[in-house]
């Protein structure tokens, strides 16, 4: 079991990072939705899928964690196995291949990709934060980021919190940072969604 070193800075970070994570979740869901709606015609899907997944296979030679629905990068982040640079690269690449796969006509949900992207974004934001305010370990930021992103993107704040406790077996000391980040992320997501509907 991974060790999660929760420090007081995590509360402040969760307050600051929550809205940013909510914005990222809104953008991710938006581009994924647009890719599904504007997927290539049925007659072109076999060709586009072959091209898309061949390119993903080539990327996987150098970054194996790009494969799958997102379980692998999430586990890497929760176990504090990769740093900020690799997390940022995986976040960008995994977002792009999710979009390209949906655009090529693939089917699938966004639950695990949201969890993975949140963990990756959490480490990126937490790594920058820790340069100025050293405190919690990177996997703590990953856990809070994953929960907030999942809660906002899938519109299930309580379920996201319960799932992260089940997946990682963290202690109840995490509950307040999780609640703070989830509140900020879901609040921004709902605000942006209402603005989008208004237009």
In the block, tokens 């299930």 appear at 156
C-beta of residue 49 within 8 angstroms of C-beta of residue 105: yes
Whether the per-residue pLDDT at 3 is higher than 80: the answer is no
Work out whether the CA dihedral 199, 36, 110, 99 comes out positive or negative: negative
Q: 3-state DSSP: the chain helix, strand, coil percent, rounded to 5?
A: 80, 0, 20
| Tokens encoding 33 | 């939705």
Question: Domains of the chain: which residue ranges?
Answer: 9-194
| pLDDT recorded at residue 59 | 87
User: Where does 44-156 have alpha helices with state H?
Assistant: 45-62, 71-78, 84-103, 111-132, 138-153
In angstroms, the CA 83 to CA 26 distance is 25
| pLDDT, tens digit (0-9, with 9 covering 90-100), for 40-89 | 888 888 899 899 889 989 988 888 888 877 778 888 888 877 889 989 99
Q: Which of 7 and 132 is assigned the larger pLDDT?
A: 132
pTM of the entire predicted model: 0.90
Q: Which fold has domain 9-194?
A: Clc chloride channel (1.10.3080)
pLDDT band at residue 158 under the 50/70/90 scheme: very high
């Amino acid at each position: 079991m991974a060790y999660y070193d929760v420090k007081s800075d995590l509360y402040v970070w969760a307050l600051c990072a929550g809205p940013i994570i909510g914005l990222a979740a809104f953008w991710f869901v938006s581009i994924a939705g647009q890719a599904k709606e504007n997927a290539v015609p049925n007659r072109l899907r076999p060709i586009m899928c072959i091209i898309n997944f061949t390119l993903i296979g080539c990327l996987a030679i150098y970054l194996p964690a790009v494969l799958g629905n997102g379980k692998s990068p999430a586990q890497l982040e929760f176990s504090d196995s990769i740093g900020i640079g690799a997390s940022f690269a995986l976040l960008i690449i995994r977002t792009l291949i999710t979009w390209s796969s949906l655009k090529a006509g693939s089917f699938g949900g966004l639950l695990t990709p949201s969890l993975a992207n949140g963990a990756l974004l959490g480490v990126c934001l937490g790594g920058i934060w820790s340069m100025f305010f050293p405190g919690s370990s990177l996997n703590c930021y990953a856990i809070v980021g994953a929960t907030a992103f999942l809660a906002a993107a899938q519109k299930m704040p309580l379920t996201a919190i319960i799932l992260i406790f089940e997946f990682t077996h963290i202690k109840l000391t995490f509950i307040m940072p999780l609640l703070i980040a989830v509140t900020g992320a879901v609040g921004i997501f709902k605000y942006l969604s209402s603005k989008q509907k208004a237009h």
